[in-house]
Amino acid sequence: MISLYIVERSAEGRTKIVDLITQYLKDPQSPRISLKSLSLEEVRFNSPPHIILVGEEIVGREVSEIAKLKKIFPSSAIIARVPPALDNLSFIEQLARFGADEVVSLQTTQLEFFRKVILLSRNGSKLKSGTLILVDGGKGGVGVTSVSAGLAEMLVDSGKRVCLVDLDPETQDLSRFLQAKPFVNENLSLLLSQAQPIVEDTVLNSITQVWADDDRLSILTAPPDGDEMYESRNPFSRLFLLVLEVLDSTFDYVIVDTGHARGILRRSLYRVADGVVFVVNRDPAVLFASVERMNKGLSELSPDSHIVVVENGSVDSGLPSKILKQELLEATNLEDLPFISIPECSSGRVWPGSGSTMMSRGKRSVRRAFLDLGRVFGAEGNDVPVRKTLSFGVKQLPAPSEPAERLVSGVKLR
């Protein structure tokens, strides 16, 4: 995802540029870009972007401000939007001396603009960027939360730093199952209400370390519940993407439990994702819902992103795996799509509330399935489970090889 700041003196000027680029982004072939509109005074309170687009008011009247922006963000590329009266080689040479890396004008086409943005973001900026993975499903109960947590543990065991994102403000299953507190994320609320700036320090204050003895796994617990999450005119989705952008620049992998997202939020997540894990099971009722949701997601997914289907074997009866795979891939016209099956495992079912995941509590075949899933996203892991402690560090979890009888949240599970 390319982060692009629009910096202009007036709010009207910023809105004009944002509206133009937003129109460009409706093209399904457009690159994945997150936009943020800022005044000159607001710039210093934000983390470095890949590119800064400076508007005509600043370029035409306060060109020296470009040098100040370059000093604040030396690793970010700067594009200057040149007014028609100044669109000449002499002025462009002056812009270059102040630190501008590229220019655009009223004559710049959509294709030319995207070409400049792509080249500058990949060649000019050295900002770190992780991998953003969505875990989604056609309906509730297919195992989206279980797969999210298991994939995260696999990636951590391969030596990566991972941040999980819980998008279920109602039940907060991912946060509760991992015993990650607080369940009410007040710090995130401050960011999404714009009471605090979305910068690295404030975003990192919103996450929780899952295991007391391992700082490689963190979680962003759920945002506050409300209809604003799904309203197209509300800035919630834009602000939440900015939070993800900071996490993406900090962690090797960001895994979003997308099961409860809908509307503009879900479409925005698909647009910026590097990959999607789509979870299904053998229940015939899941097939139709999965095909419909996958097709909608694919229409939003960037061309350079990829999707993998995971069959959660927790349902004992239903469609045979071979028929499920055939019907699903034919219905989505994706015959070459990666398809990974996680076998049924009674010991893996007791992971909720344990602080561990299916990856370490499941049998060897379950762990191998998660290893295969991690390899799709470029990670190589161990076939040996690692014992973990609870987030508050009060007890050591038993090894997965011990009997599967556990006391979880006061309920005995077998």
The contacts of residue 405 (CB under 8 Å, 6+ apart) are 412, 413, 414
Verdict on whether the full-model pTM lies above 0.85: no
Closest-CA residue to 248 (of 273, 214, 212) = 273
Return the pLDDT at 165: 95
| Distance from C-alpha of 402 to C-alpha of 3, rounded to nearest angstrom | 48
- pLDDT tens digits for 163-189? 999 988 888 889 989 988 766 788 998
Q: Where in 47-138 does DSSP place strands (E)?
A: 51-54, 77-81, 102-104, 131-137
Whether 77 and 96 have beta carbons less than 8 Å apart is answered as no
How many residues in the chain?
414
273 touches 305 (CB < 8 A): yes
- The pLDDT, as a whole number, for residue 227 is 59
> Checking phi first, is residue 356 left (phi over 0); if not, alpha (psi -120 to 50) or beta?
beta
3-state secondary structure of 243: helix
The answer to whether 155 touches 380, Cβ cutoff 8 Å, is no
CA dihedral 371, 377, 378, 382 (to 10 degrees): -20
Name 86's bridge partners.
Answer: none
- Eight-class DSSP state of 50: S
Which domains occur in the chain, in start order? 2-124 (3.40.50.2300), 131-413 (3.40.50.300)
- 397's torsion region: left (phi>0), alpha (psi -120 to 50) or beta? beta
Residue with tokens 């050591």: 396
Rounded to 10 degrees, what is the CA torsion of 311, 333, 301, 16?
-150
CA–CA gap between residue 355 and residue 313 (Å, rounded): 22
Strand duo 77-81 + 208-211: pairing: unpaired
CB 217 within 8 Å of CB 211: yes
Look-up of token digits 């009266």: 85
pLDDT at position 226 is 62
Q: Nearest to residue 81, comparing CAs of 116, 36, 118?
A: 116
Q: pLDDT 10s per residue in the chain (414 long)?
A: 688 899 999 999 999 998 898 888 887 777 878 788 889 988 887 778 889 999 999 999 988 999 999 988 888 899 999 999 998 999 999 999 999 999 999 889 999 999 998 888 876 444 557 899 999 998 888 899 999 999 999 999 999 999 999 988 888 889 989 988 766 788 998 888 888 877 777 889 999 999 888 899 999 998 777 655 556 566 788 888 889 988 988 899 999 998 778 888 888 888 889 999 999 988 888 888 888 888 888 888 877 788 899 998 876 667 787 888 888 888 777 777 888 999 888 877 788 888 789 898 888 999 999 999 999 998 876 655 544 444 433 333 333 333 333 333 333 333
HSE-CB for 96 with a 13 A CA cutoff: 7
